[in-house]
Chains A and B, each alone.
Chain A
Amino acid sequence: MHAKKLIILSVLLALACIAFMTLGAKGSWSFLLVFRGTKLLALLLVSVSISVATLLFQTISGNRILTPSIMGFDALYLLVQTLLVFMLGGFTYVALDGQIKFLAEVGVMLLAAVLLFSTVMGKGRQDLHRMVLVGIIFGVLFRSLTGFLQRIIDPNDFAILQGASFAQFSSVDKDLLGLSILLVSVCCLIIWRLRYSLDVIALGRSNAINLGVNYERASFAVLVLVATLVSVSTALVGPVAFFGLLVTSLAHFIMNTHRHSILLPASILIAALILVSGQTVFERILKSQSTLSVTVEFFGGLLFLLLLFRGKMR
């Protein structure tokens, strides 16, 4: 039954990809293939990183309401980016190789995420309210620090920063694609190998230890993986608050299982399906009169409120 659902999702995704590549295609194919192809690749990459990061985060924190973005992970990434421009100065920042910059940002992000979140991560199971509060406070803190730095920064540096951090679904940062593919693949490979331990970790700390999983090491690894994946998606398309929540909730709803070997591919497929088909509709049919991210965030936000009010999805 699960396999059948996964196949249906894959077929739908393939159709969406074909529609994205061919609908309203005018002009030379050699140009279109590269132009739309890179965009499609970026969308797929973002789908993978957001959905997997959210699913992992929910497993380790033991609830289905929190996501890395709600906890302020992507705000942290933007802060790291701003901080780098602030410390190095705009010209040095621009002169640096894009990929090295990206790696440096991911590195600093990992360090900061481990320092800040390792103490609160495992506690979500016991105290959801505290986790939500920590997330809101961290998010506001990171965003206001970013805002503060951007205010006192040199205007030239600010322009550079805007260019660096203002990514969207419709204008993906293409220079980082190669490196992102590498990072995401490595993360996914590690996560796929951890899939059975993740099932056990979802049972909570004491059950996981009882069943012989090194919980402390595993949750540290998951934190590092989540931070990396969030860095990739934020670098490519900027912060997305509720998309991950929407995707994992749909995956849980459709698959109705606890097994990560099914939930992981399912949420990736659902995320890609929403992004690719949504982007097709918004770009080709609605002629970019509205943006996908706003719509996705709207429905994701509604879902978040619904889950919070029902308070059942623990």
Chain B
Amino acid sequence: MIEINGVSHSYGKSKILQNISLSIKESGITALIGPNGAGKSTLLSLMTRLQPLQTGSISFDGQSVSQTPTRELAKTLAILRQDNALSSRMSLRDLVGFGRYPHHKGRPTAKDHRAVDEALDYFDLQTMSDRFIDEVSGGQKQRALVAMAFCQETKYLLLDEPLNNLDMYYARSLMKRLREIADTGKRSFVIVLHDINYAGAYANEIIALKDGTLAIHGTPQDVLETKALQTLYSMEIKVTQHQGQLVALHHL
């Protein structure tokens, strides 16, 4: 269980987050949505200790983010960020292998190699595992980064817009993979998503932020609804149903 209590954050005078309190259940996919500048990425970086908390507290299964040693937290939660300026010359396999670092501290065992192979297989990267990261496309690199976070084998995975750079085929297959993993009940995902239809189709719960405050915390049915979307995005979005699946026609 992730517990966020009274978290506020500001850069200089501009307030990014204001008094956010919520708890996220174990297992399943939680989607974090909201318009640009709502504070999604900031909340995620506070949850993953990439930025120090200014006020409030965040804990994963009782492990406080600000007090638990960072090497311990690396076995509890993994994050995938949007900006990854990787300068080192390394193969995709090496990159994915870094996900095992919290477990082996630089000396990989047979078990670690197996985990890396599994992750490469799982995300369709085995055939290109020896290519260097500066020789593959943005989408392939993105998948390798997801695979790296995956083989870190943490209970919580926090992904900041993982569908960036992915075409329709890989975006859908990635979400399906994540859904499969979530359904085993061993891992929980918090995913920042821009496409509310992905959020509606794959998430158990949706958290919507607007202007740094918690706007909605509910099921996809609560959010995929014309009035809720109207207040959230300040635009009219028709919602229709197709074979039992709610679809927001946000592009029309």
Interface residues in chain A, defined as those with a beta carbon under 8 Å from any beta carbon in chain B: 62-64, 125-126, 195-197, 199-200, 202-207, 209-214, 252, 256-258, 314
B-chain residues with CB within 8 Å of residue A206 when the two chains form the complex = 45, 50, 79, 81, 83
B152 CB contacts on chain A under 8 angstroms: 210-211
- 27 of the cross-chain contacts (CB-CB < 8 Å) are A125-B87, A126-B85, A199-B88, A199-B98, A200-B101, A203-B88, A206-B79, A206-B81, A207-B81, A207-B98, A210-B74, A210-B149, A210-B152, A211-B74, A211-B101, A212-B70, A212-B72, A212-B73, A212-B74, A212-B75, A213-B70, A214-B70, A214-B71, A256-B89, A257-B89, A258-B89, A258-B90
Interface string of B87-116 (1 = CB under 8 A from A): 111100010001101100111000000000
Q: Does B177 contact A (CB under 8 A)?
A: no
For the residues of B in contact with A, the DSSP-based class is: loop
* Residue numbers in A under 8 Å from B48 (CB-CB): 209-210
Using Cβ atoms and an 8 Å threshold, which residues of chain B touch A202? 87-88
**Smallest distance from the beta carbon of A58 to chain B beta carbons, Å?**
9
Chain B interface residue number, banded: 20 to 34
Chain B, range 175-211, C-beta contacts under 8 Å to A = none
Number of A-B contacts (CB under 8 A): 75
Cβ of B252 under 8 Å from chain A: no
Name the contact of B85 in the complex, choosing from A62, A195, A209, A252 (C-beta under 8 A). A62
Kindly list chain A residues whose C-beta atoms are within 8 Å of the C-beta of B168. Answer: none
Q: Contact between B105 and A258 (Cβ–Cβ < 8 Å)?
A: no
Residue of B nearest to A61 (CB): B87
Q: How far is the CB of A198 from chain B (nearest CB, A)?
A: 10
Contacts of A207 in B (CB 8 A): 81, 84, 98
Nearest A residue to B158 via CB reads A210
Query: Chain A contacts of B74 at CB under 8 A?
Result: 210-212
Chain B residues near A210 (CB-CB < 8 A): 48, 50, 74, 78-79, 149, 152
